[in-house]
Amino acid sequence: MKYAAHEILVAPARATAHPGRLVVGVALGVPVFLLLSFGYATLLPLVFGAETWARISPGIEAATNPAGVLINLFVFGLLILALWITLRLVHRRTMASIIGPRARALHQFIRALGAMLLLYGALLFLPMPQGMDPQPNLAPGVWLMFLPLALAGLFFQVFAEELVFRGYLQSQLAARFASPLIWMLLPSLGFALLHFDYASFGANAWIVVAWAAAFGLAAADLTARFGTLGPATALHFVNNFSAMLIAAPRGQFDGLALYAYPFSMDDAAVLWAMMPLDVLILICGWLAIRLALRG
């Protein structure tokens, strides 16, 4: 069976597979995360000081300066903590049980990361549509200075989302329901709705949601197919590295991007033009990882 390896993640979930437990887990995890985030937001002005905070705070919501990007990324560490509390209290599970065997997950992550980097390296040679070439944004020296922190924050972000949606929700649902239509689709829809942002994307918000749903399904398939979060995390990490640290839309999470595209995410014509290419890149990444790990 193509998803036989998924049992590695599903078996530890069976003891607490009742849907009521999952509802309780979500009902606990979300408020804990919000409470931790409130504490984080309260602490930040004290850490930075009033003068520095007044200077950087306008760029935090849309992450248009380096500090804003890092603050938005590192908050996901609190999501990992909230999930850990939920797993221990509600499901009596360890964090390792939703990741998979450490050595196997790391091996798969490295191989999948290599495949994704080769793919994105090849994409650098493809011409952009006319008028969409990215323009220099952050000075290379500044970019390199922030890069170690940016990589750490980016890993927190993608790993937290993989833990929640592909590790926790997917395995708990798969332990109760046999059909992939449930345990793949429901977490992918939840992941997609997390990306709904009408204030930033306007009428294009649902296009972004649709793309995120497709990404969620690709990540869900890789997790079930290979039995760890390693492949999906690599897919997610390289995608977000490209979108946040290499070239980002102008005015939207471009604070640490080396380049910025000359359009924003609320430009419907551009987004519709770019979406087929983004979907094609996603499919190619998914296939590249499958080929890299098939042996």
Q: Does the pLDDT value for residue 141 go beyond 90?
A: yes
The strands making up 247-249's β-sheet, listed across from edge to edge, are: 135-136, 259-261, 247-249
Taking only Cα atoms into account, the Rg of the chain, rounded to an integer number of angstroms, comes to 19
Taking the C-alpha atoms of residue 30 and residue 269, their distance in angstroms, rounded to an integer, is 36
Say if residues 201 and 83 touch (Cβ distance below 8 Å).
no
Beta strands 259-261 and 135-136, pairing class: antiparallel
The angle subtended at Cα 260 by Cα 255 and Cα 261, nearest 5°, is: 140
pLDDT at 127 over 90: no
Q: pLDDT tens, 179-204?
A: 999 999 999 999 999 988 877 777 78
* Residue-level pLDDT at 9: 98
Q: Where are the alpha helices (DSSP H) in the chain?
A: 7-10, 19-48, 50-56, 66-74, 76-86, 102-123, 140-162, 170-176, 180-183, 185-194, 198-201, 205-226, 230-240, 268-293
Q: In angstroms, rounded to a whole number, what is the distance separating the alpha carbons of residues 60 and 187?
A: 28
Which is more confidently placed, 182 or 131?
182
Structure confidence by residue, pLDDT tens digits, 52-89: 999 998 888 888 999 999 999 999 999 999 999 999 99
- Alpha carbon 244 to its chain's center: 11
DSSP 103-123: HHHHHHHHHHHHHHHHHHHHH
Once rounded to an integer, what is the mean pLDDT over residues 231-253? 94
Gap between the Cα atoms of 26 and 157, Å rounded = 19
Q: How confident is the model at residue 161 (pLDDT cuts 50, 70, 90)?
A: very high
Give residue 177's pLDDT: 96
Q: pTM surpassing 0.85?
A: yes
The predicted model gives 201-212 an average pLDDT of 86
